[in-house]
Structure 1
Amino acid sequence: MSQISFADFFNSAKKAGPETGPVMPVAVPSSGIHRMINLEVARKQFISVFLHTARQLRRWDVFSDFITLAASELDLARVRTQESMERCRKICERYDSDDIKNLHELFRLMVCALEAEFHDFLGAIFMELELGDDRRGQYFTPYSVQSLMARMLIPGIKDTIRREGMITLSEPTCGAGGMVIAYAECLIEAGLNPSAQLFVNCIDIDPVAADMAFIQLSLLGIAAEVVTGNTLTLQFNRVRYTPVYYINGFEEKLQNQRRIRAMLDFIRGMKEAA
């Protein structure tokens, strides 16, 4: 079973006139029925709905708008801030009511795809739509390769968790978060719980890529600090934390881990000096 536990949809309201307030995110209507569908069906439906959404706009613009809206809704620390609501309102102004419904449907299908299988859904969609050719020649590593690389990092991981209570992972060029997802999947296969035992620091210079990672790690229940910025120059523009970071108390867990590491370093130094 997937770890997905949070799937709040952004508001479908569209600004009707000058007197209308900013768009407010709302929860999924309780009358809605969520039906589990397999990955291939979700992928095909996502592509179809996407290609029929706001045809007057460039595909890259529609994709990046969808990613911005979805990421804003999952950002628990900022979702109700004036800045976030104003940004979402301006995006929604570009779409008519049918297109807004399609954006809702894209979110639903994305959730269904991640429920069906632990994988880099948005990275695969990005490549299938050939959006990388439209902007900076950007390409994402296939998930099969990411899984192979992740498995190389697994040996000895249980010893680390027994010693420190959790493990941390750093991804300085995270893209859509595929490598992190593959690593979390390996932990699950090893009988571990990444929602409680894994914290990830992710960085990407492209704000859309960083948002893609933030969305997927949020929906898959992975505690992460997702930074938009340049790893080489250490210039950072935005930091976001996934919902599980707050829900599972990772701030305290990280403090405990630092204390344990400091104690182990002290003991190691004493033994070397003896």
Structure 2
Amino acid sequence: MGKVTHQLRNENQKNITRIFDRLSQRNSRWTVWSDFVVMSAISISNTVDKVNEQSREQLYMDTIKKYTKAELLEFAQMIAELVMGMERNPNCDFLGELFMMLELSNAQNGQFFTPYSVCSAMAKLTIMDELHSKIETEGWVSVNDCACGAGALLIAFANECKEQNINYQRSVLFVAQDLDYTAAMMCYLQLSLMGCPGYVVVANTITNPVTTYDRKGLLPRDGQNIWYTPFYFTEIWQGRTICASIDRMFHQMPKPAPAEVKEEQQEITVTQSTKTDYPINETKAGQLTLF
């Protein structure tokens, strides 16, 4: 394990590796790593997502039964090292790199994460002139990685936004999906700690791709294992979800039959001419807004 420690990026990754080695004496290395990321993800999710809080809290309580109080304190220290490491250097795939260095990748399933340097180059090639223009026109954009792994590509995209003076916390919705539960939780953790608004879906992209009720991805369809990041619940993004919900509601309203049109015409005319304190306006993006 000394060789692995030597290859790690910073002191925080080395500290996590040392703790990880101690925790792996009683349980398998994969079990310890998976439990670490899942418990950490639940700790974040349950502060904001009250719909899924009860079921995830039960999963958390079932997971901690494997460990002693002293070992749970070690897990807490691992989370602290993760937070400090990403704060000191956000320009990396902190968990993805650590995962590969600890040799936890599954060769049989082809679970090899794309190096962050490659993801960074891809992000630079993907944007930025068109992105600036689209944000100016529509107010915000969405970006999707349908095989997110630990989230390196989305992290690189967020960092490139910062380089181009784009406030991704207000202007970009991040959508991620992965079949592997542990990888998806790694992505969720890193996007959450970077303040990326959006969500991670745990599902097979080929057989069950993420779909939404709105055209821009704000309202994912029910029935999927969805993990919303804390910034998805900020005021600006919740306002946008309300607008998307209103837009969806109006599009779903049944059109009146021809015979009913004349009968309702007078009532509609009166309603339209009546002033209200809360008019519904339309944004440049074509969304309805109450603001």
Q: TM-score range by the shorter chain?
A: 0.7 to 0.9
Say if 2:128 and 2:164, in contact at 8 Å, map to a contact too: no
Instruction: Provide the C-alpha distance between the structure 1 equivalents of 2:21 and 2:108, rounded to a whole number of angstroms.
Output: 18
Q: 1:126 aligns with which of 99, 111, 132?
A: 99
CA drift at 1:185: 0.2
- Residues 221, 262 of structure 1: alpha-carbon distance in 2 compared, 3 angstrom cutoff: same
TM-score by length of 1: 0.76
Provide the rounded CA distance (Å) in 2 between the counterparts of 1:101 and 1:79: 28
Structure 1 counterpart of 2:62: 90
The whole-number CA distance in structure 1 between the counterparts of 2:54 and 2:174 is 28
Runs of 5+ in structure 2 lacking a partner? 1-8, 210-222, 248-282
**1:58 and 2:28 matched:** yes
For the residue of structure 1 that corresponds to 2:170, the secondary structure is helix
2:264 is matched with which residue?
none
* Structure with the larger RCO, 1 or 2 (CA within 8 Å, 6+ apart): 1
Identity %: 29
Deviation at 1:43, TM superposition (A): 1.2
Aligned amino acid, residue 250 of structure 1:
W
Q: Structure 2 counterpart of 1:71, which letter?
A: A
Aligned length: 225
State how far apart, in whole Å, the 2-side matches of 1:96 and 1:191 are.
Answer: 46
Q: Which residue of 2 aligns with 1:239?
A: 226
Alignment of 1:29-68 (within 5 A): 40-68=10-38
2:82: which partner in 1? 110
| Structure possessing the higher radius of gyration over alpha carbons | 2
Are the counterparts in 2 of residues 79 and 85 from structure 1 also a CA contact under 8 Å? no
Asked whether the equivalents of residues 168 and 200 of structure 1 are also in contact (C-alpha less than 8 Å), the reply is yes
Alpha-carbon separation, structure 2, partners of 1:255 and 1:249: 10
Q: Alpha-carbon deviations, 1:58-114, whole Å to 9, x = none?
A: 100000001110111111214983322221111111011221111000000000111
Q: Does 1:253 align with 2:240?
A: yes
Deviation per residue, 1:124-148 (Å, 9 max, x gap): 1110001014773411011011000
User: C-alpha root-mean-square deviation of aligned residues, in Å?
Assistant: 2.2
Does residue 1:185 correspond to 2:172, yes or no? no
Contact 1:196–1:248 at 8 Å: present in 2 too? no
Amino acid corresponding to residue 116 of structure 2 in structure 1: Y
Residue 139 of structure 2 contacts residue 285 of structure 2 at CA under 8 Å; is this kept in 1?
no
8 Å contact kept, 1:218–1:242? yes
Structure 1 position 225, deviation (Å): 1.7
Distance 1:248 1:128, change over 3 A: farther
Q: Does the CA contact (< 8 Å) of 1:204 and 1:210 recur in 2? A: yes
- The residue that corresponds to 2:174 in the other structure is 200
